Amino acid sequence: MSVRVAVIAILALLLLIPLAMVQSLIQEREQRKQEAQQEVSDTWGGPQTIVGPVISVPYETVMRVAINDGTGKTELRNVRQYAHFLPEVLNVTAEMDPEKRHRGIYDVVVYKGRLELSGTFKPLGNNDLGMNDKLLWDQAMVVLGISDLRSIREQVRMSIGTREVAFEPGAPVQDVAGVAVNAALALSEEDLLRELPFRLTFQVNGSSSIRMVPIGRVTKASMSSSWADPSFKGAFLPDSSTITPKGSSARWTVLHLNRPYPQEFTGSRLNELQESAFGVDLMLPVDEYRKSDRAAKYGMMLIALVFLVFFFVEVLQKLRIHPIQYLLVGLALCVFYTLLIAMGEHIGFGKAYLVSAIAVIGLVVFYAASVFRMPKATRLLALVLLFVYGFMFTIIHQEDFALLIGSLGLFVVLAIVMALSRKIDWYNARQ
């Protein structure tokens, strides 16, 4: 009897190999899905992060820099740096028109976005930089960060003060945005003594998400779309949000006290700006690979319980079940996961789970009927399989209570096994 228990345990451990292969298959299919999403993003437009507008003003300063002759020596040189001024008020309105695009069997969420940015810059002549170097106001520029320039759908123009400027691609430095457009904005002495109101509207394509960086001393943003499954992400959650089957909307208010960078600065603040971004992700409501991966983690529990039923029938009814028969049943249980993954890509996780579970339960019960030759034992196995698959489906769809439900379920199963086996004389069980 001890030898048979050891053999069954070894067979169960060997079945960890196909279970590991199943999890590897899930990761491979998920990676292919991500590649398909990336292909669509590359041609349509990727996740967008909007930074700006920011007024950047160059100045000449003397700095010690290394000489590129391999000697490690340094020298003093005139270097062009930039001072950056953020708006006092920034109002953002973003409207997204999302849709699903298909690449093979995979769905990708893309959107057409229309953004309106408005606000004011305070009089720049009263700045608090305290610089000794002279700012070259006649060479100032407006910088607007857009993370994927290929997705811009129209010429970006901006009214600021009493003039209108048109943007060109690129920016001289990446102090405020890694990818940006810029517009020349020569400022006169009169401009430095008055507020500069601004407004710009532009359209961009994007996919998956959109983010805004709160560069205003007071930033007020509102985003709306017809997508019913948003996920609000980033450094700030919305002050209010509305989610209905017809769409969603959200509003944010962010103060300069909530961020780790000032309204006026020199040098680069790129990391701090990116880390303060907030926005919304357009989520697909079903992620069949994540659920399939969670199901595969309970594969050993499924195999152990089914093997336990076979073993108890073998012991109590004095049958002889060959290890090959255990192995065939275990492989049938492993095939459930490949069926689940394959069908889940086409008909959804819920339907795929139902069809796969019925197919595998039918196969195992049919095979067990010829092995047991006892209707009661066969029906018991069918009930155990129905319980386990139903229990596993319940756990997969639980987020907060999965551990609690799983632990209680395993405790109940162990209690039942101990109750049924407490009077068995294991030394004479086969006599």
> SS3 letters for 202-255?
EEEEEECEEEECCCCCEEEEEEEECCCCEEEEECCCCCEEEEECCEEEEEEEEE
Q: Identify the domain boundary among 284, 300, 325.
A: 284
Phi/psi at 32 (5° precision): -65, -35
Q: Looking at residue 156, what is its pLDDT?
A: 85
Q: Looking at residue 93, what is its pLDDT?
A: 92
Q: Which residue has the higher pLDDT, 290 or 235?
A: 235
Q: Do the beta carbons of residue 179 and residue 149 sit within 8 Å?
A: yes
> How much of the chain, in percent, has pLDDT values that exceed 70?
91
Phi/psi at 127 (5° precision): -85, 165
Residues 80 and 184 occupy one common structural domain: yes
Helix (H) or strand (E) holding 419: helix 402-421
Residues 274 and 306 occupy one common structural domain: no
Q: Looking at residue 161, what is its pLDDT?
A: 83
Q: Looking at residue 340, what is its pLDDT?
A: 83
Number of domains in the chain: 2
Sign of CA dihedral 262, 266, 272, 276: positive
Average pLDDT over residues 263-279: 88
> How much of the chain, in percent, has pLDDT values that exceed 90?
10
Identify whether 39 is part of a domain: no
Identify whether 37 is part of a domain: no
Residues 280 and 293 occupy one common structural domain: no
Residues 15 and 112 occupy one common structural domain: no
Identify whether 401 is part of a domain: yes
Q: Looking at residue 92, what is its pLDDT?
A: 92
Angle at 80 between CA 129 and CA 149, to 5 degrees: 95
Residues 23 and 68 occupy one common structural domain: no
Q: 242: Cβ–Cβ under 8 A, 6 or more apart, which residues?
A: 248, 249, 250
Q: Looking at residue 287, what is its pLDDT?
A: 65
Residues 270 and 130 occupy one common structural domain: yes
Identify whether 59 is part of a domain: yes
For the segment 103-133, what is each residue's pLDDT rounded down to a tens digit? 766 777 888 888 999 999 988 877 777 666 6
Identify whether 138 is part of a domain: yes
Least reliable range by pLDDT among 79-93, 279-293, 377-391: 279-293
Residues 227 and 117 occupy one common structural domain: yes
- pLDDT tier for residue 214 given thresholds of 50, 70 and 90: very high
Overall pTM > 0.85: no
Q: Which residue has the higher pLDDT, 308 or 360?
A: 360
Identify whether 208 is part of a domain: yes
Can you tell me the distance from the alpha carbon of 344 to that of 356, in angstroms, rounded to the nearest whole number?
Answer: 10
Can you tell me the distance from the alpha carbon of 340 to that of 407, in angstroms, rounded to the nearest whole number?
Answer: 24
- pLDDT tier for residue 219 given thresholds of 50, 70 and 90: very high
Q: Looking at residue 425, what is its pLDDT?
A: 65
Q: At what angle do helices 288-296 and 323-347 cross, to 10 degrees?
A: 170
Using DSSP, state whether 178 is helix, strand or coil.
coil
Residues 146 and 200 occupy one common structural domain: yes
Residues 130 and 9 occupy one common structural domain: no
Q: Do the beta carbons of residue 393 and residue 402 sit within 8 Å?
A: no
Q: Looking at residue 315, what is its pLDDT?
A: 72
Identify whether 419 is part of a domain: yes
Tell which residue, 122, 116, 209, 98, has the closest CA to residue 156.
116
Whether the per-residue pLDDT at 38 is higher than 60: the answer is yes
Q: Looking at residue 117, what is its pLDDT?
A: 92
Residues 22 and 122 occupy one common structural domain: no
Q: Looking at residue 385, what is its pLDDT?
A: 84
Q: Do the beta carbons of residue 86 and residue 54 sit within 8 Å?
A: yes
Using DSSP, state whether 61 is helix, strand or coil.
strand
Q: Looking at residue 90, what is its pLDDT?
A: 93
Can you tell me the distance from the alpha carbon of 395 to that of 42, in angstroms, rounded to the nearest whole number?
Answer: 37
Structure tokens at 148: 């994927």
Average pLDDT over residues 361-370: 85
Helix (H) or strand (E) holding 65: strand 48-66
Q: Identify the domain boundary among 284, 319, 351.
A: 284
Structure tokens at 345: 């890509």
Residues 7 and 57 occupy one common structural domain: no
Beta-carbon count within 10 A of 70 CB: 6
Q: At what angle do helices 16-44 and 299-316 cross, to 10 degrees?
A: 160
Q: Looking at residue 426, what is its pLDDT?
A: 62
Domain containing 81: what range?
49-284
Residues 119 and 141 occupy one common structural domain: yes
Phi-psi region of 203 (alpha: psi -120 to 50; beta: other; left: phi over 0): beta
| Largest Cα–Cα separation, the chain | 106
Least reliable range by pLDDT among 37-46, 81-90, 229-238: 37-46
Identify whether 251 is part of a domain: yes
Structure tokens at 268: 């680069």
Give the CB-side neighbour count of residue 35, counting CA atoms within 13 A.
8
Structure tokens at 250: 């959200």
Give the CB-side neighbour count of residue 90, counting CA atoms within 13 A.
26
For the segment 277-333, what is each residue's pLDDT rounded down to a tens digit? 998 888 766 567 777 777 777 777 778 777 777 777 777 767 777 778 878 888 888
Least reliable range by pLDDT among 198-202, 211-215, 353-357, 425-429: 425-429
CATH of the domain at 256: 2.60.40
Q: What is the mean pLDDT of the chain?
A: 81
Whether the per-residue pLDDT at 361 is higher than 90: the answer is no
Q: What CA–CA distances, in Å, run from 269 to 53, 86, 260, 265? A: 15, 12, 10, 8
Q: Looking at residue 87, what is its pLDDT?
A: 92
Whether the per-residue pLDDT at 430 is higher than 60: the answer is no
DSSP labels for 97-150?
Answer: EEEEEEETTEEEEEEEEEEEEEEEEPPGGG-----SSPB-GGG-EEEEEES-GG
Average pLDDT over residues 61-69: 71
Q: Identify the domain boundary among 284, 304, 329.
A: 284
Q: Do the beta carbons of residue 55 and residue 142 sit within 8 Å?
A: yes
- pLDDT tier for residue 227 given thresholds of 50, 70 and 90: confident
Q: Looking at residue 160, what is its pLDDT?
A: 87
Dihedral in degrees, nearest 10, Cα atoms 326, 331, 333, 337: 170
Q: Do the beta carbons of residue 175 and residue 84 sit within 8 Å?
A: yes
Structure tokens at 333: 């249980």
Helical ranges in 247-374 per DSSP H = 270-275, 288-296, 299-316, 323-347, 349-372
Q: Looking at residue 314, what is its pLDDT?
A: 73
